[in-house]
C-alpha cells in the first residue's frame, strides 16, 4: 500500500513557512508500513487542488491532504472536495456541538464562520478533531482512501496518531519497513560507492541502498520492505555490519544522527571532555555541539578568538609565532589547541584558524585555506585543508572537518 501527501497553502509555496508536516507524516507512515511515493504542495486555488488530487489517485491508494480547512474565505479545501467528488454539503451536528463546546470553554463568542466549520461534504465520514474546530474528513473513492486534515501541526499530529494511522493499519495488511543509517565522514560519495560496490551488488531486490551526501559526510541508508519482519531485520543488520566493517575508519555512527552527536556519544561513553578554540568558524562548532541536550557532559566551553589579541590573551599563543607564521598556520593552530587544553582543563581540545573569505587571502594562502588541530594530554595533531571560495560552505566544511579529526583521534569503540 502506497500513500501520497498533498499540502495546501500559498504560504508554503512562497517560502513563508516550511512544510514540516509532510516530513513528520512520512516518518509515521513508514513506521506503519505505508510507503510514501510522492509529496506535492499546491496553492489555495480550487483547480490546482483538483488537478493534484486527480493525479494522486493515479499513483497511490492512500492520499492524505493537509491545509485549507480554517473558517476564513481563503480556506477552500472542503468546497473543493465537494466539487471533486460531486457531493453537496451538509451540516454535521456532532461537529457543530464540538465547535460550540470549544468556544464555550474558551469563553469566546462564536461567529457564523465558526459555525461553518461543521459544514462538510455529504459523502464523507467525519472524524472529530479534539485539538481544534476543523473536522477531519475521510473519503473512499474508487478503492482509494482520501483523508483531509487541518494544516495546524499539533492538530494534524493528533489526528494521524490517534485516528488515521490506526484505521489504516486495521484496514490493510501492511509490510514491515526498515531503515538503517550508517553515518560516514572523511570519504567522498564516489570513493565510498567504489569501496562497497560488491556488497551493494549482493543486496536482494527488496533492500535498497541510498547515498545521502552532505559537506564532508555521507549517510548510507539501507531500506527494506517485507512481510517477514524478523528476517528483514536480520538481513538489514547483516548488510549494515558488512558495510560498516569495510569502511570502518570512516564510520561515525550506525544510526541517523548528526556528526557532532556521534562525537558526543563516543566521548561521553569514555568519560572524556572537550573544549574549542575557534577563529574562522566564529563559534559554529560550539553551536553545533550545544544544540544537543546533555552536551554539557562532554563540552566544557571554548573561546571564539577571532583576533590575534585574543589568541594571545586567552590561549597564550606566542606573539612571535603569529608574527612569523601568521594566524592561519600550523604553528598557530597547534598553540591554539594546546592553549585551549590548558585554559579550559579538558581531555581534548580542537582549534580552527583559516580564511573563510571572500577577503583575507594572501600569497600562498588563498580563500579556503584552513588549519585545524586536535590536542590531548599526549600530543597535538594538525592538518591543512583547502576548501573553496564560498564563506558559508567554508565555515561548515571546517566544522565538519574538525569533528572528523576529533573522531579520528578518539579511534573506534
pLDDT of residue 72: 79
Same domain, 158 and 18: yes
Same domain, 297 and 388: yes
Which pLDDT tens digit goes with each residue over 202-214? Answer: 999 999 999 999 9
Is residue 39 domain-resident?
yes
Same domain, 59 and 109: yes
Q: Is the pLDDT of residue 193 over 80?
A: yes
pLDDT of residue 324: 97
d(CA 333, CA 226): 52
Same domain, 114 and 51: yes
Distance of CA 37 to the CA centre of its chain: 19
Same domain, 238 and 290: no
Sign of CA dihedral 33, 38, 39, 42: negative
Q: Which of 71, 74, 78 is nearest to 112 (CA)?
A: 71
Instruction: Please list the residues that pair with 208 across neighbouring strands.
Output: 223
Q: Which of 278, 269, 294, 242 is nearest to 407 (CA)?
A: 269
Is residue 201 domain-resident?
yes
Mean pLDDT of 124-137: 93
pLDDT of residue 233: 96
Same domain, 145 and 164: yes
pLDDT of residue 345: 98
Q: Is the pLDDT of residue 6 over 90?
A: yes
d(CA 339, CA 356): 23
User: What CATH number should be reported for the domain holding residue 112?
Assistant: 3.40.980.10
Is residue 360 domain-resident?
yes
Same domain, 239 and 269: no
d(CA 138, CA 2): 17
Is residue 259 domain-resident?
no
Mean pLDDT of 92-98: 92
Residue 307, number of CB atoms within 10 A of its CB: 11
Is residue 258 domain-resident?
no
Which pLDDT tens digit goes with each residue over 303-341? Answer: 999 999 999 999 999 999 999 999 999 999 999 999 999
Same domain, 126 and 187: no
Print the domain residue range for 231. Answer: 176-253
| Count of structural domains, the chain | 3
- Among residues 171, 201, 225, the one where a domain terminates is 171
Q: Is the pLDDT of residue 117 over 90?
A: no
User: What CATH number should be reported for the domain holding residue 370?
Assistant: 3.90.950.20
Which pLDDT tens digit goes with each residue over 152-191? Answer: 999 999 999 999 999 999 999 999 999 999 999 999 999 9
Which pLDDT tens digit goes with each residue over 14-23? Answer: 999 999 999 9
Instruction: Give the chain's mean pLDDT.
Output: 95
Mean pLDDT of 285-300: 98
pLDDT of residue 108: 83
Mean pLDDT of 373-378: 97
pLDDT of residue 350: 98
Same domain, 11 and 153: yes
Same domain, 131 and 204: no
Same domain, 202 and 64: no
Amino acid at each position: 500500500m502506497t500513500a501520497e501527501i498533498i499540502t495546501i497553502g500559498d504560504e508554503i509555496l512562497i517560502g513563508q513557512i516550511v512544510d514540516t508536516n509532510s516530513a513528520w507524516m512520512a516518518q509515521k507512515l513508514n513506521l506503519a508500513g505505508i510507503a510514501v511515493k510522492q509529496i506535492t504542495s499546491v496553492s489555495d486555488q480550487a483547480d490546482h487542488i483538483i488537478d493534484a488530487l486527480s493525479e494522486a489517485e493515479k499513483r497511490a491508494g492512500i492520499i492524505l491532504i493537509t491545509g485549507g480547512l480554517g473558517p476564513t474565505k481563503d480556506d477552500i479545501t472542503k468546497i473543493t472536495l465537494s466539487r471533486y467528488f460531486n457531493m453537496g454539503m451538509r451540516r454535521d451536528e456532532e461537529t457543530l456541538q464540538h465547535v460550540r463546546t470549544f468556544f464555550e470553554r474558551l469563553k469566546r463568542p462564536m461567529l457564523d464562520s465558526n459555525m461553518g466549520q461543521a459544514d462538510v461534504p455529504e459523502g464523507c465520514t467525519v472524524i472529530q478533531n479534539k485539538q481544534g474546530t476543523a473536522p477531519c474528513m475521510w473519503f473512499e473513492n474508487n478503492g482509494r482512501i482520501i483523508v483531509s486534515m487541518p494544516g495546524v501541526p499539533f492538530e494534524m499530529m493528533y489526528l494521524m496518531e490517534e485516528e488515521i494511522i490506526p484505521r489504516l493499519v486495521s484496514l490493510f495488511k501492511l509490510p514491515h519497513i526498515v531503515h538503517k543509517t550508517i553515518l560516514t565522514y572523511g570519504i567522498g560519495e564516489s570513493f565510498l560507492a567504489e569501496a562497497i560496490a560488491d556488497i551493494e551488488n549482493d543486496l536482494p531486490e527488496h533492500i535498497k541502498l541510498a547515498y545521502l551526501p552532505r559537506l564532508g559526510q555521507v549517510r548510507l541508508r539501507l531500506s527494506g520492505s517485507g512481510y517477514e519482519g524478523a528476517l528483514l531485520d536480520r538481513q538489514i543488520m547483516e548488510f549494515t555490519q558488512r558495510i560498516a566493517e569495510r569502511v570502518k575508519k570512516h564510520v561515525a555512527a550506525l544510526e541517523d544522527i548528526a556528526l557532532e552527536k556521534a562525537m558526543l556519544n563516543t566521548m561521553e561513553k569514555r568519560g572524556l571532555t572537550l573544549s574549542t578554540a575557534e577563529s574562522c568558524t566564529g563559534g559554529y562548532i560550539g553551536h553545533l555541539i550545544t544544540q544537543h541536550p546533555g552536551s554539557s557532559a562532554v563540552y566544557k566551553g571554548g573561546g571564539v578568538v577571532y583576533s590575534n589579541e585574543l589568541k594571545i590573551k586567552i590561549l597564550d599563543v606566542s606573539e612571535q609565532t603569529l608574527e612569523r607564521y601568521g594566524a592561519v598556520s600550523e604553528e598557530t593552530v597547534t598553540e591554539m589547541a594546546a592553549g585551549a587544553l590548558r585554559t579550559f582543563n579538558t581531555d581534548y581540545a580542537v582549534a580552527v584558524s583559516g580564511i573563510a573569505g571572500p577577503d583575507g587571502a594572501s600569497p600562498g594562502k588563498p580563500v579556503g585555506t584552513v588549519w585545524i588541530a586536535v590536542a590531548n594530554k599526549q600530543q597535538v595533531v594538525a592538518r591543512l585543508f583547502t576548501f573553496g571560495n564560498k564563506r558559508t560552505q567554508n565555515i561548515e566544511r571546517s566544522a565538519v572537518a574538525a569533528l572528523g579529526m576529533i573522531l579520528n583521534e578518539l579511534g573506534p569503540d
